[in-house]
Structure 1
Amino acid sequence: MHIIRVGFNYKTTPLEIREAFTFSEQRLNEAVKQLSTEKSILENVIISTCNRTEIYVVADQLHTGRYYVKRFLANWFQVPMEDFAIYLQIAENDEAIEHLFKVTSGLDSMVLGETQILGQVRDAFMVAQNEQVTGTIFNELFKRAISFAKRAHSETGIGAQAVSTSYAAVELAKKIFGDLSAKHVTILGAGEMSELSAKNLQGAGVDQITVVNRSMSNAEALAAKFGAQADTIDHISHVLKETDIVISSTGAHVAILTKDMVQAIQVQRKGAPLFIVDIAVPRDVEASVETIDNVFLYDIDDLQHIVDENLAARQAAATKIDLLIEEEMVYFTEWIQTLGVVPVITALRQKALLIQANTMESIERKMPDLTAREKKVLNKHTKSIVNQLLKEPIKQVKELAASDQREDALNLFMNMFDIHDDVQALLKEQSNTDGKIKPANHNNISFPLLNHLTSK
């Protein structure tokens, strides 16, 4: 069996294509169930966000697995396969597993190291698991990826540094004022950057926000999203009397705050500290404002310097996470290899216990006067002999699964104990009539060894 990842992301796919292939949250459960009915698809998880749509599957064959995922996409979105095939990125087995670890850790995001994707992966996995379209392989893989991402963020602090100007502005304010919860913040402008600033301010615990804009309706629309106050630019002097922090991002072509205006406001404020972040281009605040006592002015170049330093720190952390992913890949591969011997171990145990049961029947026929207690003692001790005898062979077969010659060694082991037919029978029981293996029933089969076990 094989793990395959098929998807679109922001790096290679235009926005209009990504939008066309976005699964709605309301129908995601229906989508994973429909995908599970496709031939060759044994398990699946669909991750769909504004920046990516990625489908992860466990398939019995690479070629058919790739084809039926693409056919599913074509049918679900009613788009001919040839119209979107050039945008698809496909990864298989180790490459697909590594990509999942990177996505979940934020290493493949537009904002390096962001944590939102971790929650999105977790939610997607939970949908698939609740719809029973995952099995042992994805239950283990996705749990490992989610746990790993949490540990990587904690150990490296990759998400601790601001890498957007609006976020950097808020972080800078926190460094100067400490706790922002009691501060009054005025946002000049009602565009995208202003909205991002408002989000980051609320995340920092700010309750008092006033949105100021030339258009009162635009100011009110943005303020309504955050439970803030709204006012027009004509009242800016009055608003700033009660303001501790100003974040300005308008589309004005001339300065909104001049030195004379801010000096007059500071007289009314009795010189209380005023922190101004101007992230507009052209600038909203005259550069000479920074010469006023107790006025701290930062422009977009100041913030970009902070962002660049923080991005360098995130990239260094990402390098560390890459190394951790390599270790995690080794652990997962070892786990997969160990899975391959489970049907072998099961067959060995079943054969040994059958011999023990037949022996007990023979003893009871030859010694019909045994009491119930004596039978119980004999049964317990003969099973104990079986378990002790099997302990070392089971240990050895697990080690064989991790060796370079595991296929030949495993075949020799099955022949040695004459259990090859028993393993075949176990695999056959776990197969559907059409040759697919049910998600709930292929729990004990490792995809690297499946072809070997079923071809002998």
Structure 2
Amino acid sequence: MTLLVIGLSHRSAPIDLLERTTLGEDRARTLRSVLATSQQLREVLVVTTCNRTEVYADVVTFHGGVGEISQALADVTEVDAPVLRDHLYVHHEDRAVSHAFSVACGLDSMAIGESQILGQLRSSLRTAQSCDEVGPELNALFQRALRVGKRAHTETELDDVSLSLVSAGLEEAERHVGPLTERSVLVIGAGAMSALSVATLTRSGAAEVIIANRTQAKAEHLARAYAARTVAWEERVAALVSADVVVTCTGASGRIVGRDLAEQVAAARHHRPQAYVDLALPLDVDPSVGEVEGVQVVGLSRLGEIMARDGMVPAQVQQVRDLVVEEVAAYLAARRVQAVAPTLTALRSRARAVVDAELERLDTRTPEMDEATRKQVALTVHRVVEKILHTPTVRVKEMADKDVTGSYAEALHRLFDLDPHTVAAVSAANVEPPVEIGHQDA
């Protein structure tokens, strides 16, 4: 077993490349189909979100797995392989586990701490399970990752980090347009980040908060919670004209506000200062909109720079990083124990077979032995064997923290002359089927 993750995100690739490699349902399905035919991959799971495209796999060989996954990504996204490889990251074994847990916690998201990633990972796992593309390795990894992500959000105040991101964006907008208490704000979208933006605007006393969303019912539900008002999606252009600040965070694959529309809106406003806070990826607002007279655009890249510059990454992040380190260590220890367990099972089976054979031989040679004595002899022999095997069994738990169980298992093979085919059979018998995860897992 070799665990591997290959992908690209906002940390490794420019936004324009991320947009080109974003996988919709059709391309994600195509990628999974291509990878499913690979002889190098035993299990595979594709994760695609607004700011990352990743492939997790249990591969036969490291280099073979990297080569096939990289080429499949290039083929499906139609990005030249050399260009794509310059921005791909590769994590192997322990680092792959750490990366999966960090992603689940939102530590690797552009909006640090965002919780939507949990739902996206859960959806990716369910899809892979339904297509029979994952087995015990990736099922175990992702179910543990989902639990770690949930723990990060329930045991720390990580959710406040997203609030810092929204606050930083609104502060930048306020510097450009003036106090929000005297300004109208349009929020486009009705998801988690949009709700956080509406809540922040309400607390800061924005003069007016308007919500526009493709699904009117969602917009109205959000508006009722914060005494905001809504406009129909078809009326968003008029709403743009009246808004001094526009906050966007949708899942659209194309631009919500392009250069032409921004110029039209700016002209209708007589070029009064207007700010767009774009919290989406792919971007909702074309970067060139910032070149329009009177208009400022603040995107996630800019907000990341601001937060890093001002030291706005709070203590909660370090708490979660420590939690991830703890969880990774525990997961790897359990995994090492699980790896040697088939050897111990084979060892005990071998011992039982030897004991049974010797007791049968004793029965043949001492037919005069009474039943009570025979039972006592059998019990004594079993106790002796159990005591001999006790120490090797205990040592597995002790050595799990030292990452030497592999050499320990090999020593047991040699010392007790265990049949490798028996160990393999035990391993196969211990493989558990994929477990469907419900809402309670994350």
TM-score by length of 2: 0.64
DSSP-derived class of the 2:111 partner: coil
Aligned to 2:234: 221
CA-to-partner distance for each residue in 1:158-205, whole Å, 9 max, x for gaps? 21335223656632455479xxxxxx96629x7x9x99xx95981772
Cα displacement (A) at 1:77: 4.5
Equivalent-residue separation in structure 2 for 1:40 and 1:51 (angstroms)? 27
- 2:347, 2:416 within 8 Å by CA — same for their partners in 1? yes
1:170 matched to 2:198: yes
DSSP-derived class of the 1:205 partner: helix
- Cα 1:37–1:247, aligned 2, differ >3 Å: closer, same or farther? same
Aligned to 1:345: 344
Equivalent-residue separation in structure 2 for 1:88 and 1:60 (angstroms)? 20
- 1:46, 1:55 within 8 Å by CA — same for their partners in 2? yes
Cα displacement (A) at 1:442: 8.8
Cα displacement (A) at 1:15: 4.2
Aligned to 1:40: 40
Cα displacement (A) at 1:255: 6.3
Aligned to 1:293: none
1:54 matched to 2:67: no
Kindly report which structure 2 residues correspond to 1:13-28, keeping only aligned pairs within 5 A, or say none. Answer: 13-25=13-25, 28=28
Aligned to 2:179: none
- Cα 1:68–1:171, aligned 2, differ >3 Å: closer, same or farther? same
Aligned to 1:92: 92
DSSP-derived class of the 2:124 partner: helix
Aligned to 1:437: none
Kindly report which structure 2 residues correspond to 1:83-232, keeping only aligned pairs within 5 A, or say none. Answer: 83-160=83-160, 161-164=163-166, 165=170, 170-172=198-200, 174-175=202-203, 187=210, 202=222, 205-206=225-226, 209-211=229-231, 221=234
Which letter does structure 2 place at the counterpart of 1:135? Answer: G
- Cα 1:158–1:390, aligned 2, differ >3 Å: closer, same or farther? same
Aligned to 2:398: 399
Which letter does structure 1 place at the counterpart of 2:389? Answer: L
Equivalent-residue separation in structure 2 for 1:176 and 1:47 (angstroms)? 36
Which letter does structure 2 place at the counterpart of 1:187? Answer: I
- 1:401, 1:410 within 8 Å by CA — same for their partners in 2? no
CA-to-partner distance for each residue in 1:205-234, whole Å, 9 max, x for gaps? 2576243xxxxxxx551579xxxxx9998x
- 1:158, 1:313 within 8 Å by CA — same for their partners in 2? no
CA-to-partner distance for each residue in 1:333-353, whole Å, 9 max, x for gaps? 212221231232122022012
Aligned to 2:270: 253
Equivalent-residue separation in structure 1 for 2:313 and 2:380 (angstroms)? 60
Equivalent-residue separation in structure 2 for 1:324 and 1:312 (angstroms)? 21
- Cα 1:407–1:116, aligned 2, differ >3 Å: closer, same or farther? closer
Equivalent-residue separation in structure 2 for 1:203 and 1:187 (angstroms)? 8
Which letter does structure 1 place at the counterpart of 2:421? Answer: A
- Cα 1:26–1:141, aligned 2, differ >3 Å: closer, same or farther? same
Equivalent-residue separation in structure 2 for 1:408 and 1:127 (angstroms)? 37
Cα displacement (A) at 1:411: 3.6
CA-to-partner distance for each residue in 1:4-31, whole Å, 9 max, x for gaps? 2111212333445334433333564664
Aligned to 2:421: 425
DSSP-derived class of the 1:393 partner: helix
Aligned to 2:435: none
Equivalent-residue separation in structure 1 for 2:423 and 2:333 (angstroms)? 21
- 2:101, 2:149 within 8 Å by CA — same for their partners in 1? yes
Cα displacement (A) at 1:112: 1.4
Equivalent-residue separation in structure 1 for 2:240 and 2:29 (angstroms)? 46
Equivalent-residue separation in structure 2 for 1:67 and 1:129 (angstroms)? 24
Equivalent-residue separation in structure 1 for 2:228 and 2:413 (angstroms)? 72
DSSP-derived class of the 1:45 partner: strand
Equivalent-residue separation in structure 2 for 1:30 and 1:126 (angstroms)? 17
Equivalent-residue separation in structure 2 for 1:32 and 1:203 (angstroms)? 39
- Cα 1:378–1:47, aligned 2, differ >3 Å: closer, same or farther? farther
Moved more, 338-347 or 108-117: 338-347
Cα displacement (A) at 1:119: 1.1
Equivalent-residue separation in structure 1 for 2:426 and 2:36 (angstroms)? 17
Equivalent-residue separation in structure 2 for 1:223 and 1:185 (angstroms)? 15
CA RMSD after TM alignment: 4.8
Percent identity between matched residues is: 26
Which letter does structure 2 place at the counterpart of 1:81? Answer: A
- 2:35, 2:72 within 8 Å by CA — same for their partners in 1? yes
Which letter does structure 1 place at the counterpart of 2:90? Answer: I
Cα displacement (A) at 1:120: 0.7
| Greater Rg by CA | 1
Which letter does structure 2 place at the counterpart of 1:32? Answer: R
Equivalent-residue separation in structure 1 for 2:56 and 2:222 (angstroms)? 35
Cα displacement (A) at 1:407: 5.1
Which letter does structure 1 place at the counterpart of 2:222? Answer: Q
- 1:6, 1:88 within 8 Å by CA — same for their partners in 2? yes
Which letter does structure 1 place at the counterpart of 2:149? Answer: A
1:7 matched to 2:7: yes
Equivalent-residue separation in structure 2 for 1:163 and 1:427 (angstroms)? 52
- 1:39, 1:68 within 8 Å by CA — same for their partners in 2? no
Equivalent-residue separation in structure 2 for 1:94 and 1:26 (angstroms)? 32
Equivalent-residue separation in structure 2 for 1:314 and 1:222 (angstroms)? 38
Equivalent-residue separation in structure 1 for 2:121 and 2:61 (angstroms)? 25
- 1:106, 1:112 within 8 Å by CA — same for their partners in 2? yes
Aligned to 2:326: 327
DSSP-derived class of the 2:314 partner: helix
DSSP-derived class of the 2:57 partner: strand
Aligned to 1:413: 412
- 2:46, 2:56 within 8 Å by CA — same for their partners in 1? yes
Q: Where in structure 1 are there 5+ consecutive unaligned residues?
A: 178-183, 212-218, 225-229, 237-245, 257-280, 284-303, 432-439, 445-456
Which letter does structure 1 place at the counterpart of 2:130? Answer: N
